[in-house]
């Protein structure tokens, strides 16, 4: 009998390792390949590929009609994109830096957030606003803000923030596919953080919080740029015999309170950490809501760790402003002391 000379090719792996920024690039590329109505708009996003090179190579591959270099006019970019969304396109806007978004605040909160409701559901708003946010990169004023709570206050907008390359790859695609307007907050100091991306397995939907590590003594909640620091806190606390359950919030509006509440019912304590100022930050809403929903399970008040209620400082001082390992561990210790 003749020997079988057929060969079987190994299946192509769906796993790859990417920096968070390039995971977003790959997600945008896939979204543009899947739907020719997806159009990118922003300042210097075409030939330059954006300040952080997130859109690098996309104009070359998809053309200037789909990757559009816009004038320096955020209000005009958002207003034009709203009109495009009404006409059936799916615009994805890049705001170059977080605080540059404020000239477009009126368009976002009085038009974009309200058109679906104002038209009694007739007009959907499939529009994504990408916002590089947070500090830690040594930038000057207006380049290191955390404006998420400003927009979370307004009904009609979805806010999501990935903390890993895998989530970045999938969540940007989910944002593009959403019929609702989505603000996609990208933790800019984590753009170069590498991680594994599974391009075949999506994982949790973008509006669900994720239990990253299970624990019994305390729940620590963070999102976006603070997640790597929060993981360090879990490891440091474990060396001292403290078991922390870590949750990545992922969706900033709506908030997955069910996952948070279930964790707090198990651990009895909650510390919320974010880069944004503690005063009227997301931690304030989470603390109030969890106190209402799980009061008799709490062994300590919900504590918050975050930035100070000051303008963001110059680069030489930002390490004092940003919550670090020691500040969050102090919050953990204070909660455990009750």
Question: Looking at the annotation, which residues are catalytic?
Answer: 143
Rounded Cα gap, residues 209 and 223, in angstroms = 9
Helix, strand, coil % in the chain, rounded to nearest 5: 40, 20, 40
Give the max Cα distance, the chain: 82
In 268-317, which residue ranges form alpha helices assigned H by DSSP? 282-294
Locus of tokens 């390992």: 325
Residue (of 261, 102, 250) closest to 182 by Cα position: 250
Give the angle 289-294-299 at the CA atoms, nearest 5°.
Answer: 115
Output the CA torsion 194→199→28→144 (10° steps): -30
Rg of the chain on CA atoms, in Å: 21
Question: Contact 185/133 with Cβ under 8 angstroms?
Answer: yes
Residues 147 and 99 sit within 8 Å (Cβ to Cβ): yes
CA angle 198, 202, 207 (to 5 degrees): 135
């Amino acid at each position: 009998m003749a020997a079988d000379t057929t060969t079987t090719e190994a299946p192509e792996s769906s796993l790859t390792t990417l920096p968070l920024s390039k995971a977003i690039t790959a997600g945008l590329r896939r979204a543009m390949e899947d739907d020719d109505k997806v159009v990118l708009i922003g300042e210097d996003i075409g030939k330059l590929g954006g300040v952080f090179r997130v859109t690098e190579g996309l104009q070359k591959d998809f053309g200037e009609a789909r990757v559009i270099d816009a004038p320096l006019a955020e209000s005009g970019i958002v207003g034009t994109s709203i009109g495009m969304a009404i006409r059936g396109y799916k615009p994805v806007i890049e705001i170059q830096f977080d605080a540059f978004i404020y000239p477009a605040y009126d368009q976002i909160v009085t038009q974009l957030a309200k058109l679906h409701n104002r038209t009694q559901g007739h007009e959907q708003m499939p529009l994504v606003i990408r916002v590089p946010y947070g500090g830690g990169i040594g930038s000057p004023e207006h380049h290191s803000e955390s404006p998420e709570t400003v927009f979370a206050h307004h009904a009609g907008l979805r806010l999501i923030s990935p903390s890993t390359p895998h989530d970045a790859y999938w969540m940007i695609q989910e944002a593009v596919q959403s019929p609702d307007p989505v603000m996609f907050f990208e933790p800019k100091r984590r753009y170069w953080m590498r991680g594994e991306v599974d391009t075949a397995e999506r994982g949790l939907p973008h509006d669900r919080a994720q239990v990253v590590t299970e624990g019994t003594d305390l729940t620590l909640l963070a999102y976006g740029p603070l997640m790597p620091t929060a993981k360090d806190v879990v490891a440091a606390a474990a060396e001292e015999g403290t078991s922390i359950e870590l949750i990545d919030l992922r969706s900033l509006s709506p908030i997955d309170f069910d996952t948070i509440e279930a964790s707090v019912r198990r651990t009895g304590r909650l510390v919320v950490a974010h880069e944004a100022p503690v005063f009227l930050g997301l931690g304030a809403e989470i603390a109030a809501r969890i106190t209402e929903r799980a009061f008799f399970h709490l062994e300590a008040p919900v504590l918050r760790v975050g930035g100070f209620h000051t303008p963001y400082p110059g680069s030489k001082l930002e390490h004092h402003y940003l919550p670090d390992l020691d500040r969050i561990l102090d919050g953990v210790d204070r909660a455990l002391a009750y």
